[in-house]
Amino acid sequence: MAWMISEFASVGDVTVRTLRYYDKINLLKPSDYTEGGHRLYTKDDLYVLQQIQSFKHLGFSLGEIQNIILQRDVETEDFLRQIHFQRELLLAEQERIAKVLSHMDEMTKKFQKEERVDVALFSSFLQTFIWEKENKEWLEEHFSKDSVQTFYNNKELKEKFDRRFMDVIGKLKKYKEEEKDPIHYDVQVTLKEFFNLIEEVTNYLDTPQSDIEDIIQKSNLPVSEFPALFTTEEENYIKEAMKQFNN
């Protein structure tokens, strides 16, 4: 029995495009061709296709699958080593997916009450979750480890700070977009909220704010691992507002 490529695709539960690609890379070539040059697949080809699908199910790449199939039989120890390695890769991917789902849930919770979502702000806060482990390790290295752990372990407290922080950052971005004068009352009040929030965080870290600034300057802060919350224009706007705030 022989199938044309479209028939074989249906039998094997793959696309015609996939079969053409497998043929191109010599992973699965048709057993025969019609007089008109059309591919013909047999039961033996289906047998090979099922092998490919089995190893794809385990997460092996097409190149790895090709090597396995070409060997036909492999030393048990070598084969199980490959299976174990693939299992470790899948576990790592499972952990990554679990983290992504957790981040989605966290970000949904934080933004669900907003009328509109500032994409840049969303991205910045998402970065805080992506790099949370590294950020926490950096804080523990430079501040009281017990204070940092207490802060991170108190999820209700941390969520409260995150919400307030996001609210303040969002307001400052909005004022800049509206071109509101830096000396405007709303801007100055929001800036005061921002500094009050920073002061509260430093109190939880049990470190004076002046010491924190000194630590940051001397610690080769890994900038790429900490979210950039403002554009250059927004930073300049806030600096201008701070001049008025300090007067």
Q: Are residues 43 and 151 in the same domain?
A: no
57 assigned to some structural domain: yes
Where is average pLDDT lowest: 70-79, 164-173, 197-206? 197-206
Encode pLDDT of 169-211 as tens digits: 888 988 998 999 999 999 999 988 988 887 887 777 776 655 5
Q: Are residues 172 and 228 in the same domain?
A: yes
Q: Determine whether 191 is exposed, middle or buried from the number of CB atoms within 10 Å of its CB (0-12, 13-18, 19+).
A: buried
Under 8 Å CB-to-CB from 119, ≥6 apart: which residues? Answer: none
**Domain enclosing residue 239, as ranges:** 114-246
Signed CA dihedral, 13, 17, 18, 22: sign only: positive
- H/E stretch holding 2 reads strand 2-4
CATH of the domain at 40: 1.10.1660.10
Give how many domains the chain has, as a whole number.
Answer: 2
Written as six digits, the tokens of 78 are: 């070598």
100 assigned to some structural domain: no
* Band of residue 144 on the pLDDT scale cut at 50, 70, 90: confident
Encode pLDDT of 14-44 as tens digits: 999 999 999 999 999 999 999 999 999 999 9
Under 8 Å CB-to-CB from 129, ≥6 apart: which residues? Answer: 102, 103, 106, 107
